[in-house]
Amino acid sequence: MKVCIVGASGKLGRYMVQHCLDRGYDVACVCRPESVAKLDDFKDRISIFPAMTDDRNVIAKAVAGCDSVLTVLVPWGMKKYASRTAQAVLDLAPPDARLVFSCGWHISHDGKDVYSWQFKTLVAVFGFVGRLFRIVDLNDQVEACRRIFQSNTRWTVVRGSDLEEGPSQGLPVWSAHVGDPILASNLTRRIDFALFMVEALTDDALVRKAPAIVGCETESAKTYAAVASS
């Protein structure tokens, strides 16, 4: 399988690179020119396309001939970076390519997610501060996902919980809606978020779904598993 990873130089992206290489995939990576050195550990085993991830000319070259595209949707700045990146991938990836995008729990596919007041407050404050200092625009990530949800591509949007570092605990569990009891622990290892993204490439059950994930070893996941098996 040939896979393009858009946004490969960040922590999540580098974990995805490693998971893909472990599976013997042919990997092409798009990352900002100033971040290319972060991929030095893999440079002899991957193709690198240095560019901003919303550069349509470079995206077209990077995704050419790819079976799948993994995209980290980062809402940096105030220039619609996330939505422009998503649109480039939607427009330029091969028509039958499997497209998997990353985002956070704040994205809702069908409006049926149930958020705590603490979560809603955190998102509101983070979004306000990000826009105030022109660092992050969460609304642009919402727009990016709206475009993905309305597309006719073979997409999956993986919605990550809070993240932590540490060795892999295994494939995260998921649910269709934030607020479901299995997700209550709200914590996933970043390496396992990447694992879920890569595994989604070959899981047709996730096509056109927006799974919200949580670590398989968290208290809520283990409680749910115990109840389900009783």
Number of folded domains that form the chain: 1
Task: Answer for the pair 215, 192: CB distance below 8 angstroms, yes or no.
Answer: yes
- For 105, the token pair is 């729990």
For a pLDDT cut of 70, what percent of the chain falls above it? 90
- For 4, the token pair is 């393009």
Q: Among the listed ranges 33-47, 132-146, 151-165, which one has the minimum average pLDDT value?
A: 132-146
Q: Residue 4: which of 22, 33, 31 has the closest Cα?
A: 31
pTM metric for this prediction: 0.94
Task: Answer for the pair 157, 101: CB distance below 8 angstroms, yes or no.
Answer: yes
Question: What number of other Cβ atoms are within 10 A of residue 184's Cβ?
Answer: 17
Domain with 52, as residue range(s), is: 2-229
Q: Is the pLDDT of residue 27 over 90?
A: yes
The 8-class DSSP code of residue 36 comes to G
95 or 117, which is more confident?
Answer: 95
Q: Is the pLDDT of residue 75 over 70?
A: no
CATH of the domain at 101: 3.40.50.720
pLDDT of residue 224: 84
CA distance 186 to 29: 29
Mean pLDDT of the chain: 91
DSSP 153-183: SEEEEEEE-SEE-SS---SPEEESSTT-GGG
Which 3 state secondary structure label does DSSP give 35? helix
Q: Residue 195: which of 215, 221, 224 has the closest Cα?
A: 215
pLDDT of residue 5: 98
pLDDT of residue 115: 80
Q: Is the pLDDT of residue 211 over 80?
A: yes
pLDDT of residue 149: 97
Q: Phi-psi region for residue 186, left (φ > 0), alpha (ψ -120 to 50) or beta?
A: left
Which 3 state secondary structure label does DSSP give 103? strand
Find where tokens 């991830």 sit: 53
pLDDT tens readout for residues 147-183 = 999 999 999 999 999 999 999 999 999 999 999 999 9
